[in-house]
């Protein structure tokens, strides 16, 4: 019987083919899983639309490091502008203008003008606040400054004028009583009886006159001293 043997594949050759197939599968899976600039851009756009601007900037920067796509630059500018970082946003927009086509450059120029206007408004508001602070500071300081009131003349002092007035009146009254007592005695000298009758009355008038004159003189002196002290103090 003629038996033909089938050809055998050598084990070394079969092992190489298996290793090559395994390497091809590993390379394919790695290539599929590896992120690209566009995948980072898509992730950044999703985060931007969701209002997560900081996270969007992180994703977009990673994508730009892999491939400098113009769309990444524009989206970075938009994210920075939304965060209020207009200086940073203008930088991204200007980079985008360097690589964008004529149709897309208009949007970047509009955003640059928009950010520059926001920066001017912010500087104007800060300057206005500083000016207002400088203007109101002297006014507030002047409130604490003592105000010089007009000085009244010394003769407007109530106590001094009262003492002097009462003292002068009492002294004049006492002097009148003394004069009256003297006249009473002089008029009663025509007869002894009249003199005896007028003498007690004249003594009473003289006593009252002395008391009033002494008290009025003291009050007048006190009033004059008071007015002189007030005049000296207010002259200073």
> Which tens digit of pLDDT belongs to each residue from 149-169?
456 666 667 787 888 888 888
pLDDT exceeds 50 at position 147 = no
| Backbone conformation region of residue 157, classed left if phi is above 0, alpha if psi is from -120 to 50, else beta | beta
Residues 94, 77: contact at Cβ < 8 Å? no
- Domain ranges for the chain: 37-123, 154-235
- Residue 18: pLDDT band (50, 70, 90) is low
**How does residue 50 score in pLDDT terms, banded at 50, 70 and 90?**
very high
Whether 90 and 112 have beta carbons less than 8 Å apart is answered as: yes
Q: List the single range of 18-27, 42-51, 180-189, 191-200 with lowest mean pLDDT.
A: 18-27
DSSP 34: S
Contact 162, 234 (CB under 8 A): no
Domain 37-123: what homologous superfamily?
Tetratricopeptide repeat domain (1.25.40.10)
- Residue with the bigger pLDDT between 89 and 197: it is 89
In whole angstroms, what is the distance from residue 187 CA to residue 105 CA? 130
Residue 60 pLDDT > 90, yes or no? yes
In angstroms, the CA 176 to CA 211 distance is: 12
Q: State the pLDDT confidence band at 100, using cuts at 50, 70 and 90.
A: confident
pLDDT at 194 over 50: yes
pLDDT confidence of residue 142? 47
Q: Assess contact for 43 and 62: CB atoms under 8 A.
A: no
């Amino acid at each position: 019987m003629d038996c033909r043997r089938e050809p055998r594949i050598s084990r070394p050759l079969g092992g190489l083919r298996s290793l090559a197939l395994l390497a091809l599968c590993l390379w394919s899976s790695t290539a599929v899983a590896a992120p690209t600039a566009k995948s980072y851009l898509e992730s950044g756009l999703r985060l931007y639309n969701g209002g997560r601007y900081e996270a969007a900037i992180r994703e977009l920067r990673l994508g730009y490091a892999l491939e400098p796509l113009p769309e990444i630059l524009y989206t970075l500018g938009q994210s920075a502008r939304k965060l209020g970082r207009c200086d940073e946003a203008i930088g991204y927009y200007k980079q985008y203008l360097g690589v964008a086509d004529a149709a897309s450059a208009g949007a970047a120029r509009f955003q640059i003008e928009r950010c520059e206007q926001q920066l001017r408004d912010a500087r104007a508001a800060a300057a206005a606040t500083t000016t207002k602070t400088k203007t109101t500071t002297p006014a507030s300081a002047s409130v604490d400054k003592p105000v010089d009131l007009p000085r009244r003349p010394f003769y407007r002092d109530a106590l001094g004028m009262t003492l002097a007035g009462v003292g002068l009146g009492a002294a004049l009254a006492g002097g009148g009583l003394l004069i009256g007592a003297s006249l009473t005695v002089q008029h009663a000298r025509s007869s002894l009886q009249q003199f005896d009758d007028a003498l007690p009355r004249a003594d009473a008038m003289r006593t009252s006159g002395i008391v009033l004159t002494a008290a009025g003189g003291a009050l007048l002196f006190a009033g004059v001293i008071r007015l002189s002290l007030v005049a000296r103090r207010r002259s200073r």
